[in-house]
Amino acid sequence: SLMPGVEACLQAGKWVPEAEHEAGEGPQRSRINRCSLLPPLFDGCFFFLLGSFKTPTKDELTKLLREGGAQLLNRQPKPDSDVTQTVNATAYHAPPGSDQALCTHYIIYDPQAPHKPSVVRRGKVWSAPTTWVINCITAFSLLAVPDPELLV
């Protein structure tokens, strides 16, 4: 399955080829990453999981996000809330000058789910598909959120 390799990447701080992961270097690399004191991948980011999830499951996503240093929200963030827009957190691993450098709150949905949520891109609140989460972990960077039209 995709998950063990993806988890190894989260801990290692970079993409770990499956063969290496199976050879058992993952734990050692994760210790190196932790000792270097870099913030985890999703440091400074808040996530709300919207709707139902098949692959990865909601539990797997929660685990991956938590391991990546994300904070999970129980309520959907409101784009027009002053509380949300004045959060001082910044996403450490987003490329400077990118849209993601300004965004701190993500509404995550499964692009394969029957009901697509309306797209949110307002200030610090963006909606993003689960595939984006996995791609970010694989690249160990907060990538640009794909255009929803491209996910059809």
Give dist(CA 6, CA 133) in Å, integer.
10
pLDDT greater at residue 133 or residue 28: 133
pTM across the whole model:
0.78
| Segment among 10-19, 24-33, 95-104 with least mean pLDDT | 24-33
Position 49 confidence tier, pLDDT thresholds 50, 70, 90: very high
Q: Render pLDDT for 102-137 as a digit per residue (tens, 0 to 9).
A: 899 999 999 998 887 888 999 899 999 999 999 998
Closest CA to 120 of 108, 102, 136: 108
pLDDT of residue 22: 44
Q: Render pLDDT for 54-65 as a digit per residue (tens, 0 to 9).
A: 989 999 999 999
- DSSP symbols for the chain: -HHHHHHHHHHHTS---HHHHHHT-HHHHHHHHHHTTPPPTTTT-EEEE-S---SS-HHHHHHHHHHTTPEEPSSPPPTT-HHHHT-----TTSPTTSHHHH--EEEEE-TTSSSPPPP-EETTEEEEEHHHHHHHHHHTS-PPPPPGGGG-
Q: Which two tokens stand for residue 99?
A: 């849209």
Q: Render pLDDT for 67-106 as a digit per residue (tens, 0 to 9).
A: 999 999 999 999 888 888 888 878 888 888 888 998 999 9
Class at the top of the CATH hierarchy for domain 40-142? alpha beta
Residue 25 pLDDT exceeds 70: no
Contact, 3 vs 56, CB < 8 A?
yes
Give dist(CA 132, CA 146) in Å, integer.
8
Give residue limits of the domains in the chain. 1-38, 40-142
